Amino acid sequence: MNGFNYQEDRLHCEDYPLDSLAKTYGTPCFVYSASAMTAAYQTIKAAFECQNPLICYAVKANSNLAVLKQLCDLGAGFDIVSGGELIRVLRVGADPSKIVFSGVGKQTDEIEAALAAKIKCFNVESEAELLHIAAIAERLDTKAPISLRVNPDVDPKTHPYISTGLKESKFGVPMNQALRLYTKAQSLTGITVKGIDIHIGSQITQLAPYLDALDKMFSLIDQLSNQGIILEHFDIGGGMGVRYEQEPDFPIDALSDALQQKMADRKLEIILEPGRYIVANAGILLTQVLYTKHNESRAFAVVDAAMNDLIRPALYDAVQAVLPVIAQTNPSERFEIVGPICESGDFLAKDCLINLESGALVALASAGAYGMSMSSNYNTRGRAAEVLVDGAAAQLIRRRETIEDLLAAETNLDTVTRAPLATISAR
Ligand SMILES: *Cc1c(COP(=O)(O)O)cnc(C)c1O
């Protein structure tokens, strides 16, 4: 993981020790390294230097305003999937001409807001959506710039829940409907055809699925061009995998080389939509052991973070390393790290070689992507705090949610006394 290291036996984020951070901000707490995010962004930028692509960070991976601001300042555009994410990126000063809008279910108010903001492109996922966007644009006397998300039917060989480019999936339009839909799109008053896009899955570690998809798409692009449909851009999506355990480094340079070679002399602006690649290894989830318990076959450490904070282990069987905040030389026990939630699926890590006792602090590694952004209030647990570290400085970028925050949106019953709430702490 970039940005995290042991200095004098204490785990640090950059130059800030995580045990002091826990004292100041409490646990559970997501901690992000600003320089690790910058480094990952620059790695992509450098690898694709030849194509000079528009890098649209996929906001859903980690949508904290401070994270978005940092990427915006680095020159990133954004890939959004909701009206809420549109508001987030506009709030940090994103250039609308660098925003693309993905997602299978864009709603009327979201489409109107994106048209009003003059975003770069709607990544359209079906004929019905195309017609709906066209009708709204026409009513507002404008034109919606669109790209069709084509489903290239390739197997990204990742977890089924994050495979999106197989023909059985709900995403995109089938290859064999693309020509008809582009022809249709061109005939609609409210539409300007701009490009084509794919996004074949997430946490992809191999090159082959991308190569297959690129071949299929370039042949489709040529077929369209023969029919007089000339596209300005090709958005190859995100999905570049990161190392959680033993995964190899994603072959980012090889992908860029292959793209350059396959693109030949076609004139196309390239767009990328990386999410996980930029933030996953720039963050950890800091948590404290509440209790340890042993049954016949297992040892459990019950920690103050849970599946509502980090759902990847429960949802995707994801494995994230567990790092002791105070370094251990000879760990001898094997623990399952579990949360306080009333579900057997509430585990954060299994079979960890580590010594733990109550009060110990641990970091769940690689929690910068799809951690906080997928968190919930299940069990009426306030969401964790988020802290951004830059060098030796730490900044609270989202305060811990209070119980009052959670109840505020609900009908307040007069008979319910509010008195005890203030005394219940953050989690
Ligand atoms: C989620 C998503 C991404 C980002 O995926 P990562 O695996 O995080 O890179 C990019 N594009 C689209 C359309 C997405 O839905």
Q: Which pLDDT score, from 0 to 100, does residue 163 have?
A: 76
Look at residue 420 and tell me whether its pLDDT is greater than 90.
no
- Domain final residue, candidates 272, 302, 335: 272
Global confidence as pTM: 0.95
**What is the atom index within ligand 1 of the atom nearest the CA of 123?**
13
What is the per-residue pLDDT across 6-41, written as a single tens digit (0 to 9) for each? 999 999 999 999 999 999 999 999 999 999 999 999
Q: Which residues have a Cβ under 8 Å from the Cβ of 206 and sit 6 or more positions away?
A: 157
- Domain final residue, candidates 240, 272, 304: 272
Range of the domain at 221: 103-272
Residue from 43, 62, 78, 79 to probe ligand 1 pocket by mutation (most atoms less than 8 Å from CB):
79
385 exposure class (CB count in 10 Å sphere: 0-12, 13-18, 19+): buried
Length of the chain: 427
Say how far apart CA 123 and CA 196 lie, in whole Å.
Answer: 8
Task: Kindly tell me the sign of the dihedral angle through the C-alpha atoms of 8, 11, 15, 18.
Answer: negative
Q: Which residues have a Cβ under 8 Å from the Cβ of 165 and sit 6 or more positions away?
A: 151, 152, 153, 154, 155, 156, 171, 172, 198, 199, 200, 201, 209, 213
Mean pLDDT (whole number) for 139-161: 91
Say how far apart CA 288 and CA 301 lie, in whole Å.
Answer: 10
Residues 146 and 110 in one domain: yes
**What is the atom index within ligand 1 of the atom nearest the CA of 277?**
9
1 pLDDT band, cuts 50/70/90, is confident
Find residue 293's DSSP bridge partners. Answer: 300
Classify residue 37: in a domain, yes or no: no
HSE-CB for 331 with a 13 A CA cutoff? 16
How far apart are the CA of 156 and the centre of ligand 1, in A?
13
What is the per-residue pLDDT across 221-254, written as a single tens digit (0 to 9) for each? 999 999 999 999 999 999 999 999 989 989 999 9
CATH number, domain with residue 313: 2.40.37.10
Residues 287 and 212 in one domain: no
Residue whose structure tokens are 């690129």: 214
Structure token digits, residue 317: 């069987």
Say how far apart CA 61 and CA 78 lie, in whole Å.
Answer: 11
Domains in the chain, number: 2
Residues 14 and 137 in one domain: no
Look at residue 423 and tell me whether its pLDDT is greater than 80.
no
Say how far apart CA 111 and CA 45 lie, in whole Å.
Answer: 30
Distances (CA, A) of 92 to 96, 223, 375, 422: 11, 40, 22, 32
C-alpha angle 274-393-80 in degrees, rounded to nearest 5: 25
Q: Which pLDDT score, from 0 to 100, does residue 190 have?
A: 98
CB 355 within 8 A of CB 323: no
Residue from 60, 124, 158 to probe ligand 1 pocket by mutation (most atoms less than 8 Å from CB):
60
- Domain final residue, candidates 238, 253, 272: 272
Q: Which pLDDT score, from 0 to 100, does residue 426 have?
A: 56
How far apart are the CA of 236 and the centre of ligand 1, in A?
10
**What is the atom index within ligand 1 of the atom nearest the CA of 276?**
8
How far apart are the CA of 199 and the centre of ligand 1, in A?
7
Closest CA to 279 of 118, 46, 40, 92: 40
Pocket of ligand 1 (CB under 6 A): 58, 60-61, 79, 81, 102, 199, 202, 237-240, 273-277
Residues 183 and 313 in one domain: no
Active-site residue, 342 included: yes
CATH number, domain with residue 216: 3.20.20.10
Residues 235 and 308 in one domain: no
Residue whose structure tokens are 């355990």: 245
Classify residue 193: in a domain, yes or no: yes
198 pLDDT band, cuts 50/70/90, is very high
Residue-averaged pLDDT of the chain: 95
Mean pLDDT (whole number) for 89-96: 98
Distances (CA, A) of 107 to 126, 142, 333, 413: 13, 17, 51, 33
Residues 151 and 236 in one domain: yes
290 pLDDT band, cuts 50/70/90, is very high
165 pLDDT band, cuts 50/70/90, is confident
Residues 228 and 327 in one domain: no
Residue 334 or residue 423, greater confidence: 334
Residues 265 and 394 in one domain: no
Residues 248 and 297 in one domain: no
Classify residue 172: in a domain, yes or no: yes
Residues 258 and 203 in one domain: yes
Q: Which pLDDT score, from 0 to 100, does residue 2 have?
A: 82
How far apart are the CA of 159 and the centre of ligand 1, in A?
14
Q: What is the CA radius of gyration of the chain?
A: 23
Look at residue 421 and tell me whether its pLDDT is greater than 70.
no
Residues 255 and 301 in one domain: no
Find residue 322's DSSP bridge partners. Answer: 364
CB 406 within 8 A of CB 361: no
Backbone angles phi, psi at 132, to 5 degrees: -65, -45
Backbone angles phi, psi at 271, to 5 degrees: -120, 140
Q: Which pLDDT score, from 0 to 100, does residue 141 have?
A: 98
Residues 221 and 323 in one domain: no
Q: Which pLDDT score, from 0 to 100, does residue 159 have?
A: 80
Q: Which of 50, 56, 121, 342 is catalytic?
A: 342
108 pLDDT band, cuts 50/70/90, is very high
Say how far apart CA 32 and CA 156 lie, in whole Å.
Answer: 28
Structure token digits, residue 413: 């019953």
How far apart are the CA of 219 and the centre of ligand 1, in A?
23
Q: Which pLDDT score, from 0 to 100, does residue 12 have?
A: 98
What is the per-residue pLDDT across 358-396, written as a single tens digit (0 to 9) for each? 999 999 999 999 999 999 999 999 999 999 999 999 999
Residue from 59, 171, 198, 202 to probe ligand 1 pocket by mutation (most atoms less than 8 Å from CB):
202
Structure token digits, residue 26: 């409490």
